[in-house]
Amino acid sequence: MQGLTAPVAAFPATAALLRRRTAGAGTQQVQHALPGRARCWRRQRSHQGFIVEAIQGEAPEAVAHKPVVGKTHQHKGEPRHIDEMIDTIRAALRSVAGSDISVSPYDTAWIALVRKLDGGEGLQFPSCIEWIAKNQLPDGSWGDGAFFLVQDRLINTLACIIALKTWNVHSDKCNKGLSFIHENIRRLPEDDENWMLAGFETIFPTLLEMAKDICLDIPCDEPTLQDIYAKRDLKLAKITKELLHSVPTALLLSLEGMPDLDLDWDRLFKLQSPDGSFLSSAAPTAYALMQTGNKKCLEYLTDSVNTFNGGAPFTYPMELYERLWVVDRLGLSSYFRSEIDSYLDYAYRH
């Protein structure tokens, strides 16, 4: 569902300017970096040591979605400027191993819901609840404090208060999160349709049902939710069990949003990644662990939580995801043939 940015997407202005200039000067174009799943709803990237043509003073997500409007440039001296941009992007592509990604409150909340696998009482991952308690924003929500998208804030916040309520901890933070949801759920139609988080229409209704089951006071009958329920029903009606269970598709990223589909875990685990995850994503892997107790899922989530000090990002590790994102989104293959070939070789090896 957050968008997740790849090395070149961390420099959207540079990449967009290079596309525009190689296509011809004087044409006004807009370049958007598409949000990821959403959950892709929450990513930050950090590249140090590079100075690029970017929009200053804005959150990474805001930069990624900022229209890049070009001005007419003289051809004189332009090749040198293009070379500089190519060198900047190439340096970013080669620094993929040094990038950072922010923790996802949504995914962290799903991991926090995992009960002890040895049959005892309590949480399997208590550090996740600690992370949630420490990272609530002043307005009562969870998410990226530098970038506001209603869907992003609501889905992160609802997941976090479900985790807190499930374990009956931090009632003050839970109540503050509830207040945020009551005040903002009617704002869902304000989000641009083009920014709708992938999987939101499947996952958000599932969270609402979970909230009702634990007696959280959620306005589930809010009129603005009816359209989301309709989209959920339409999407689920199109999903065939054979497709879901036979090949790895993006549907695996929203397993936690399909509890009523009678999932065949024996078949689904044949699609499990070698690292124990489902498509390197924490939330569906946590759901699989809750349903099955799978040891490889446990190992993957333990590694992720330990790496991020109690939280978990949407995707981990980043290396494969970043490389594939670049290959899919860069659009300048003639300049970066060797880098793209290197990324594809990496993907085939993994």
Tens digits of per-residue pLDDT, 238-248? 888 899 999 98
| Predicted confidence band of residue 333 (pLDDT cuts 50, 70, 90) | low
Answer positive or negative: Cα dihedral of 172, 178, 181, 182.
negative
Position 147 pLDDT exceeds 80: yes
CA 212 – CA 214 distance, rounded (Å):
5
Both tokens of residue 247? 């090949």
Answer positive or negative: Cα dihedral of 102, 194, 65, 94.
positive
Position 304 pLDDT exceeds 80: yes
Quote the pLDDT of residue 15. Answer: 34
Based on the fold, state whether residues 197 and 328 are members of the same structural domain: no
Which tens digit of pLDDT belongs to each residue from 238-287?
888 899 999 988 899 999 999 988 899 999 999 999 999 999 999 999 99
User: What does the DSSP 8-state code read for residue 116?
Assistant: P
Based on the fold, state whether residues 63 and 135 are members of the same structural domain: no
CA 134 – CA 148 distance, rounded (Å):
19
Q: Is 137 left (phi over 0), alpha (psi -120 to 50) or beta?
A: beta
Its domain, for residue 20, covers: 8-100+318-349
In a domain, 3, yes or no: no
CA 251 – CA 339 distance, rounded (Å):
29
Of the candidates 348, 342, 349, the one whose C-alpha atom is nearest the C-alpha of residue 96 is 342
CA 295 – CA 316 distance, rounded (Å):
18
Which tens digit of pLDDT belongs to each residue from 33-88?
323 343 433 333 333 222 223 323 333 333 333 333 333 344 444 446 778 887 88
Torsion of CA 169, 175, 176, 180, to 10 degrees: 130
C-beta separation of 68 from 105 below 8 A: no
Quote the pLDDT of residue 193. Answer: 75
In a domain, 78, yes or no: yes
In a domain, 27, yes or no: yes
pLDDT mean over 94-115: 84
Based on the fold, state whether residues 240 and 180 are members of the same structural domain: yes
Which tens digit of pLDDT belongs to each residue from 162-216?
999 999 999 999 999 999 999 999 999 888 777 778 889 999 999 999 999 999 9
| Domain harbouring 215, CATH code | 1.50.10.160
Question: What are phi and psi for residue 247, nearest 5 degrees?
Answer: -135, 150
| Residue whose structure tokens are 């946590």 | 286
Which tens digit of pLDDT belongs to each residue from 311-330?
999 988 766 666 666 666 66
pTM of the model: 0.70
Which tens digit of pLDDT belongs to each residue from 224-236?
899 899 999 998 8
Based on the fold, state whether residues 180 and 44 are members of the same structural domain: no
Split into its structural domains, the chain has a count of: 2
Quote the pLDDT of residue 52. Answer: 29
In a domain, 278, yes or no: yes
Residue type, 216: L
In a domain, 79, yes or no: yes
Q: Is 18 helix (H, G, I), strand (E, B) or coil?
A: helix
CA 124 – CA 117 distance, rounded (Å):
7
Based on the fold, state whether residues 198 and 258 are members of the same structural domain: yes
Q: Is 123 helix (H, G, I), strand (E, B) or coil?
A: strand
Based on the fold, state whether residues 302 and 322 are members of the same structural domain: no
Based on the fold, state whether residues 215 and 194 are members of the same structural domain: yes
C-beta separation of 114 from 124 below 8 A: yes
**Angle CA 75–81–82, to nearest 5:** 90
